Amino acid sequence: MKDFSYFAPKTATEALSVLAKLKGEGKIMCGGQSMLVLMKQNMLTPENIVDIKGISELDYIKYSEKEGLRIGALSTHSAVEKSAVVKEKYPALAEMEDNLAVVQTRNWGTIGGNVCHGDPAADPPSIFIVLNAKYKLVGPEGERVVNAEDFYKDYLEVDLAHDELLCEVQVPSLSANTGVAHEKLMAQKGDMGIVGAAVLVTINPSTGVCQDARIVLTNVASTPFRVKSSEKVLIGKVIDEKLLEEAGKIASEEIDPPSDVHGSEEYRRDMARVFVKRVTAKALDRAKQNK
C-alpha cells in the first residue's frame, strides 16, 4: 500500500473544508472495509484520505409518517438491522442487512460507505432504489438531493463530486397494500450475492390489481439494474403464476451479466429469472397482508 496523508475531521463542515483544500486529491473513507482492499491491491492509490467515521452528527436513524425514514450516512449496518422502527416499517431493509456480510463487518461498515462504493453486487442500493429513496449530498454550493436510481453511473462510479459528502438516505413512507422483499443467491449466508433481487409491489385491495411494481437486480450489470420491462408486465394486472414467469423471463433476456468464478453468464441469467419470480411473489404476498 502506498503512503498517503491522513485527515480525520470531526464535523461535516470540517470535512467539507478539508475536501475543498485538497482540490480533488482527497478520497473519503467512512468505514474503509471495501476501500482498503482496493488500496492493498493498488487498484486505488489516493494521496490523501479523509476519514469521516468520527463525525457523530451523521450517525442517526429517524422516522416520521410525514417524512419517512432518515438514515445518517454513518449509521452502521448493524444499527439499521436492529432498529425497531426499521423492523416495523421497512422489514425487508432489516432482513437485507441481516444477510449483509458478517457481524464484524456490519458492526463497523456504514450505509454511506456502502452506497458510495458503487459495487453492483452490493445489497443496500437495490433496496433503496425499489423504495424510491433519495440521497442528500452536501458540498460547497449547498445541498442537492439525488434519486437513488440515478446515483449509480458505472462500476464503482457514482454521482458524487470530489468535494461533496453523502449525508443522508431519505426513504419515503410506504403506502398501505405495499410489500417489499429482498433475496440473493449466496454460497453461504453473508456472502456477496451471485445474483440478488429487490422488489416492491403495491396492489389495489379491492381488485387485487397491481398498481405499482419496482424490480432491481444486483450483480447482473455494472450498476444496480432496474428491470422496467418486467415491471410493465405486472402493472395494471392481477399478478398470477403466468405473469410471474413472464416477468422473470423478460428480466433474464434484458440483462447482460458478467461471467466469473462464481457463475457463468448463462447461470446468472437463469438465476435472475428465478429470483425475479420468487421475490416478486414474496413482495406480492406481503402487499396482500399490509393493510
> pLDDT tens for residues 98-133?
999 889 999 999 999 999 999 999 999 999 999 999
pLDDT value, residue 279: 98
Dihedral of alpha carbons 119, 120, 125, 127, sign: negative
Report DSSP letters for 58-111, one per residue. Answer: G--EEEETTTEEEEETT-BHHHHHH-HHHHHH-HHHHHHHHTSS-HHHHHH-BH
Question: Which pLDDT score is estimated for 145?
Answer: 98
What is the third-level CATH fold of 5-51? Answer: 3.30.43
> How much is the mean pLDDT over the chain?
95
According to DSSP, residue 57 is labeled: G
Per domain, the residue ranges of the chain are 5-51, 56-171, 178-289
| pLDDT tens, residue by residue, 12-47 | 999 999 999 998 898 999 988 888 888 999 888 999
- Band of the pLDDT at 287, cuts 50, 70, 90? very high
Rounded to whole angstroms, the Cα distance separating 2 from 153 reads 27
Q: Please tell me the class of the 178-289 domain.
A: alpha beta
- The whole-number average pLDDT for the span 67-78 is 97
* CATH fold for domain 56-171: 3.30.465
- Tell me if domain 5-51 and domain 178-289 are identical in fold: no
Percent of the chain with pLDDT over 90: 88
Give me the pLDDT at residue 216, please: 98
Global pTM reads 0.95
* pLDDT tier, 188 (very low <50, low <70, confident <90, very high otherwise): confident
